[in-house]
Amino acid sequence: ARARATLAMVAAAYGTNYAMVKLIDVYTGSASLGAAIRFLIAAAVMVPPLVALGRKEPRLVQWPIASSGLGAGACFAAGYAVQASALETSDAGLQAFLLSLAVVVCPLLERLVAQRAQPPQVWLAAGLAACGVLVLECGAPSGFGAAPGDVLGLLQPLLFGAGFFQVERAMA
């Protein structure tokens, strides 16, 4: 029951991400300041456990693992910066749907970079996801690409997808 409750809390927190980013940006008046506040809070929460883990498992702070983490982190940081900027002129719901295109980017990177063949079901799912986002975007009140954030938001799946790809490679 505790695991399910934790999963439900994580899903609820994740579901509020775009709305909260937009609210923080409006409150601070700047996407950059909002992102800085978010990442300072995240660092304050994560650095102490990472230091403790590094002391317990020194191999986790050696360069091969750290460089993988830095590479993935750079992709995610760029993705979050694009997300915050896109939300200045675009709807939070639309940006959330655009980010879902990361499920298309991941198999493409697997195929193009890692040279791993993907089963037909993966391409079918990726195609359906892309079509779904296209239908949602074209049906948006502003129309596709009407706001600069709509176009900028298309960088999100590329950056987050590259980050997920790097995390998967590091885990292997």
Q: What is the pLDDT of residues 107-156, one digit of tens each?
A: 888 888 888 888 888 888 888 888 877 776 676 555 555 677 878 888 99
Phi, psi of 167 (to 5 degrees): -60, -45
Q: What pLDDT is attached to residue 144?
A: 52
Q: What is the DSSP letter of 119?
A: -
- pLDDT tens-place string over residues 74-88: 999 899 888 888 888
Instruction: Report the C-alpha gap between 43 and 49 in whole angstroms.
Output: 10
Q: Are 19 and 90 in contact (CB under 8 A)?
A: no
The radius of gyration of the chain's CA atoms, rounded to the nearest angstrom, is 18
Report the distance separating Cα 81 and Cα 35, nearest Å.
7
The distance in angstroms from the start CA to the end CA of the chain is 31
Taking 90 as the threshold, does the pLDDT of residue 99 lie above it?
Answer: no
Separation of alpha carbons 153 and 35, rounded Å: 16
Contact 163, 79 (CB under 8 A): yes
Question: The whole model's pTM is what?
Answer: 0.72
Distance CA 168, CA 171 (A): 5
Question: What is the C-alpha separation between 150 and 122, in angstroms, rounded?
Answer: 26
